[in-house]
Chain A
Amino acid sequence: MTILDTRTPIPDYFIAGATGDWEMVIGLEVHAQVTSRSKLFSASSTQFGEPPNANVSFIDAAMPGMLPVINEECVHQAIRTGLGLKAKINTRSLFDRKNYFYPDLPQGYQISQFKDPIVGEGEVHLDMGEKIGIVTVGIERLHLEQDAGKSIHDLDPSMSFVDLNRSGVALMEIVSKPDIRSSAEARAYITKLRTILRYLGTCDGNMEQGSLRADINVSVRRPGGEFGTRCEIKNVNSVRFAGQAIEYEARRQIDILEDGGEVIQQTRLFDPKSGETRAMRSKEEAHDYRYFPDPDLLPLEFDQALVDRLAADLPELPDEKQARLIRDYGITTYDASVLVADRASADFYESVAKGRDGKLAANWVINDLFGRLAKEGLDVTNSPVSAEQLGRIIDLIVGGDISGKIAKELFEIVWSEGGDPAEIVESRGMKQVSDTGAIEKIVDEIIAANPEQAAKVKDKPSMIGWFVGQVMKASQGKANPKAVNEILRAKLGL
């Protein structure tokens, strides 16, 4: 298979070496655990965190004579994901056996899809910021396969403990084309993929629990040159580690090449403690998987009508949502990208922004609410301030009832005490004073008390800020700043 280079080299990404610039070439295989109640080929539970071997049937333990029967929902989830990746759905696909020996693989083979996967080529778009723009990463394929069990090595000095609860849980292996050119793009790719999967509800994307893991292929070359020899970093389970592992690995390969050596194709592991990758101890034949069609499983076939039905029920996806938010609410691309990063945030924003000033709503949701939530370690689904309450605070600002400064205080009160913002403003006398008579009285007092400043301000008009501050202070922040400014200018003769 010839690999096409779809990208134009970006100098910002180049890594300077002793002998010139280098460029990374990265491709990812992401394993995403399918959201389903039961396993791919057996009716046992997929629930995380159950006691050892509690979610295991005789099929998952590979007892003799047990036969796999595929889970319809897992097939649907794979199709939905394929549609979300704008990919070709193959209405006929095949299952193969991938053979290897390991204690947490009781069958001695993993049921996977080799030649004919359920989903073919698709694409994912990454927003790499203003300078670089939108980057398209090709998807090579997506196939369904079984997860293995879990071996625990630290319970005994000489023995390993095996729990097969995860054995047989459905995974989607999503293989990208080698279209990624920096660790930042790789991180953006994993993040974007996770967002899409979460929108679709096909994988919870929980990397700590292992629901999403990445194998990362890294090679280096001269910018735009021939592809180099790649190394595969296995089982990276965080976006941050992915970035660190890639940076380390690229540097390691460049050092080898610049010293006149050759990169050996191998599988490596990333150690988060040292920040380094190291070669896995592997025998020569470790990669001889001897794939062959699984004789227990007939071809998987469905008609286009099923695909169309699933497509019709697909939720609005992040790219489309972002475009719509920009169009309908007039917010910036950046703000929209922050809001669509997860579906709950976007929904929250829309409830606040509906029928209101979209930009003002975005500022409050992103800066004030998200900022505060992040500080308290909360997320939008358990926000103490509801979308309705925040909407009312914004109404009070727009209606001229409170100033922006008072609004921040009001937000704090609603955050910690709850209640209806309008009532709080009323009962605590936080209403902005727009009554010119009252403001004029304060202005007169301030000018009378500060004759020197009043004289100076004529030569130095910027000093008006000091007067505004004095008036605001005297009114306990409740005077309408616009009215204060106008009255001051008139009285000071500016």
Chain B
Amino acid sequence: MAVDSKTVRRIGHLARIRIAEDDIETYADELNVILGFVEQLNEVDVEGVMPMTSVIPATQRLRADKVELGGYPERIVSNAPLSEDNFFVVPKVVE
């Protein structure tokens, strides 16, 4: 599939990255080169092969249901640009 300028704008928006108009063509070209490279994988026959989820054959470790963290709201909000009463305060978002 070929990436056009519209797709680049869309990807940028979804990732919340500002892309200058002048750079859009460059990104489109670069993304097409990368996708072309990755396309080669389609030549491999993976019929009946389970998708690999990890490089080591391991499964998920489980944690006991215990409360061991939390109770430090002032530390949680300490890096926030704006906070009040230990709430994060952000520009209004209302649906």
Residue positions of A touching B, CB distance < 8 A = 36-38, 42-45, 51-59, 61, 69-75, 94, 99, 101-103, 151-153, 155-164, 269, 280-282, 285, 288, 290, 293, 297-301
Contact = CB atoms under 8 A, between A and B. Distances in A.
Contacts of B91: 158-160
A75 B62 contact: yes
A44 B70 contact: yes
Q: Which 3 pairs between the two chains have the least Cβ-Cβ distance? A: A73-B65, A57-B69, A44-B70
A346 B58 CA distance: 45
A162 B95 CA distance: 15
A153 B94 contact: yes
A159 B90 contact: yes
Given A56-B70, A102-B93, A293-B53, A162 B63 contact: no
A74 B62 CA distance: 10
B87 A52 contact: yes
Interface string B71-95: 1010011000010111111111111
Contact of A101 (B16, B54, B69, B94): B16
Contact of A298 (B54, B77, B84): B54
B35 to A, nearest CB: 15
Contact of B61 (A69, A151, A281): A69
A290 B13 CA distance: 13
25 contacts: A38-B68, A43-B69, A44-B69, A53-B86, A53-B87, A53-B88, A54-B70, A54-B73, A56-B73, A56-B76, A72-B62, A72-B64, A103-B88, A103-B90, A151-B93, A152-B87, A158-B91, A160-B89, A160-B90, A163-B88, A285-B10, A285-B14, A288-B14, A298-B54, A300-B60
The residue in B59, B60, B91 that gathers the most chain A C-beta atoms within 10 A of its C-beta is B60
A158 B90 CA distance: 9
A70 B60 contact: yes
B18 interface: no
Contact of B85 (A36, A52, A69, A153): A52
Contacts of B94: 153, 160
A153 B94 CA distance: 7
Given A54-B73, A300-B60, 14 more contacts: A37-B67, A44-B68, A52-B86, A53-B77, A54-B70, A54-B71, A54-B86, A57-B70, A155-B87, A160-B91, A160-B92, A160-B94, A161-B88, A298-B60
Contacts of A70: 60-63
A58 B79 CA distance: 12
Contacts of B68: 38, 43-44
Contact of A299 (B53, B63, B65, B67): B53
Contact of B65 (A36, A54, A59): A36
Contacts of A71: 62-63, 65
Nearest to A159: B89
Interface in B20-73: 51, 53-54, 58-71, 73
A37 B53 contact: no
Given A281-B95, A297-B60, A301-B60, A38 B89 contact: no
Interface residues of B, number: 37
A99 B16 CA distance: 12
Contacts of A151: 93
Nearest to B77: A53
The residue in B16, B61, B67 that gathers the most chain A C-beta atoms within 10 A of its C-beta is B67
B18 to A, nearest CB: 14
A43 B59 contact: no
Interface string B1-26: 00000000010011010000000000
B93 to A, nearest CB: 5
Nearest to B13: A285
Given A153-B92, A159-B89, A161-B88, A43 B63 contact: yes
A61 B16 CA distance: 19
A297 B54 CA distance: 9
A344 B54 CA distance: 47
B69 to A, nearest CB: 4
B55 to A, nearest CB: 11
Contacts of A72: 62-65
Given A37-B65, A61-B76, A71-B65, A162 B60 contact: no
Contacts of B90: 103, 159-160, 162
A298 B58 contact: yes
Contact of A59 (B62, B69, B87, B95): B69
Contacts of A162: 87-90
Contacts of A280: 95
A299 to B, nearest CB: 5
Contacts of B54: 298-299
Nearest to A92: B59
Nearest to A99: B14
Nearest to B16: A101
Nearest to A298: B60
Contact of B87 (A36, A61, A163): A163
A298 to B, nearest CB: 4
A158 B91 CA distance: 6
